[in-house]
Structures are given as structure tokens and as C-alpha cells.
Amino acid sequence: MLDLATHLGVSVVFISDVERGNRAPLTPDKILKVTELLDVDPEPLLQAAAESRGSFELDATRVSGKARQVGAALMRGWTELDENDLEKIAHILQRRRQSE
């Protein structure tokens, strides 16, 4: 646990509190650092954190204006998307990950 805390720049107590549910889940950027360190898929952890918080976070600071526009539109229309729409979005994102 010390290696993980050091990698994230937090204390062991902080990690322990997150594990026990005494603190909110790690932020998405910290989750990505954890999964990088452990070489695991980040999506299940990001999904679990979002379910715990009741929302997903999108970092709008390092993206284009068009990306922010699409993110805002997605937030507005999220509940109206059907399974087919979601599958199309998932397919686009999967293709992107595979090309990296």
C-alpha cells in the first residue's frame, strides 16, 4: 500500500480511508494512475467510482472547444440515449483505444 500511496502522492491513511469507504472514491486522474501502476483496465474502477458518486466526471481542461461542446451535449441528452446509441458511442471509443 505504501508504493501505491507514494505513486499517487497521498498518505497510506488516505488510501486506507478510501478502501474502507470513509472517503470518497479516488478522482478519475488518480484512478488512471493506479491502473497504470497495476497495468489493469481502468474502466471498471472508473465505473465503480461514478456509481458511488452518482455521476461521471469529464476533465474539460485538456480538450478542445468541440470536445467540451460534445461533452455538454452528452450530459444533456444522456437519459434519452437508447442502447443502440450507446453501442455506437462505445464502438467509436473502442476503435480509438485500439488505435493508440
Residue 100 three-state SS: coil
**Residue-range definition of the domain harbouring residue 85:** 61-100
30-70: pLDDT as tens digits: 999 999 999 999 999 999 999 998 998 888 999 999 999 99
Q: What is the mean pLDDT of residues 73-89?
A: 95
Q: Give residue 1's pLDDT.
A: 81
DSSP character for 26? P
Q: Domain check: are 38 and 70 in the same one?
A: no
Q: Give residue 73's pLDDT.
A: 95
Structural domain count, the chain: 2
To the nearest whole number, what is the mean pLDDT of the chain? 92
Alpha carbon distance 17, 51 (integer Å): 18
Q: Domain check: are 47 and 67 in the same one?
A: no
How sure is the predictor about 5, in pLDDT bands with cuts at 50, 70 and 90? Answer: very high
Identify whether the C-beta of residue 67 lies closer than 8 Å to the C-beta of residue 74. no
CATH number for position 27: 1.10.260
Q: Domain check: are 39 and 66 in the same one?
A: no
| 2-15 as b/e: b if 16+ CB within 10 A | eeeeeebebeeebb
Q: Domain check: are 49 and 74 in the same one?
A: no
Cell 488510501 belongs to: 15
Q: Domain check: are 44 and 6 in the same one?
A: yes
